Amino acid sequence: MAITVARPKLNWRERMYLPAIAAGMAITIKHFKNMILGRTKVTMQYPEEKWDSSMPEHYRGAPALVRDTDGRVRCVACQLCEFICPPRAIKIVAGEIPSTDRFAKVEKYPEEFDIDMVRCIFCGMCEEVCPEQAIFLRKDYAITGFTRDQMVHHKEKLLEIGGVMHGVVLKWNEKK
């Protein structure tokens, strides 16, 4: 059933329409004036001002590989992240650590570790699944490139973003 909404009965002042126009004009000019005088708070001017400093600790930006304080790449190429990654953005080629190495016990290391940032959805599952605390989501969010190839983060790039992680469990170090 159609409902008829009764039109409000306007008094002569409202029907003259002019006071309403004047009021509206006053509002817009007030905003204009406040803006000119710099009293209005406006949006952050992005490339000049960034919100990096106020970003929360749990921010999920680009995933990255980290080294520990010994300078070791923490990833052991277990490929769990490759398996869990919902958009299948991660590709790992594992290599063997020579027996002369200090960390020969680890056996595997990632020879190649690519994350396709076109595919990555920043879900953080790789970080969550990683048994080695090797992959973390850092605070980088402006990931750009002119081609698809440029959007693939290789191992070097990932390590560069990741840097050194302090305060992680160092389970592969020799026992004292």
> Rule CB under 8 A: which residues touch another protein?
21, 24-25, 27-29, 31-32, 35-36, 40, 42-43, 45
Instruction: Tell which residue, 94, 106, 98, has the closest CA to residue 68.
Output: 106
Question: What's the min distance (Å) between Cβ of 34 and another protein?
Answer: 8
Residue whose CB is less far from another protein, 19 or 87: 19
Question: What's the min distance (Å) between Cβ of 11 and another protein?
Answer: 19
Residue whose CB is less far from another protein, 3 or 37: 37
Residue whose CB is less far from another protein, 142 or 170: 142
Residues 6+ apart with CB under 8 A from 60: 122, 123, 124, 137
Question: What's the min distance (Å) between Cβ of 25 and another protein?
Answer: 5
Residues 6+ apart with CB under 8 A from 64: 135, 136, 137, 138, 140, 153, 158, 159, 161, 162, 163
Residue whose CB is less far from another protein, 2 or 26: 26
For tokens 């919902």, the residue is 86
